[in-house]
Amino acid sequence: MAIAHEGRGSLEPAISPSAGQLGIGTVAVDPASPTGPAEQVRSQLTALIQSGVLPANAKLPTVRQLAGDLRLAAGTVAKAYKELESAGLVRTGRAAGTRVNPGRGLAEPALAEAQVFARAARTAGLSLEQAQGLLAVGWDRTAN
**pLDDT of amino acid 115:** 83
**pLDDT of amino acid 108:** 60
What lies within 8 Å, CB to CB, of 13 at 6+ separation is 2, 3, 4
Dist. CA 121–CA 119, nearest whole Å: 5
Which of 1-5, 9-13, 48-52 is the least confident region? Answer: 9-13
For 23-64, what is each residue's pLDDT tens digit? Answer: 445 899 999 999 999 999 999 999 999 888 898 899 999 999
CB atoms closer than 10 angstroms to residue 115: 11
Mean pLDDT of 115-139: 91
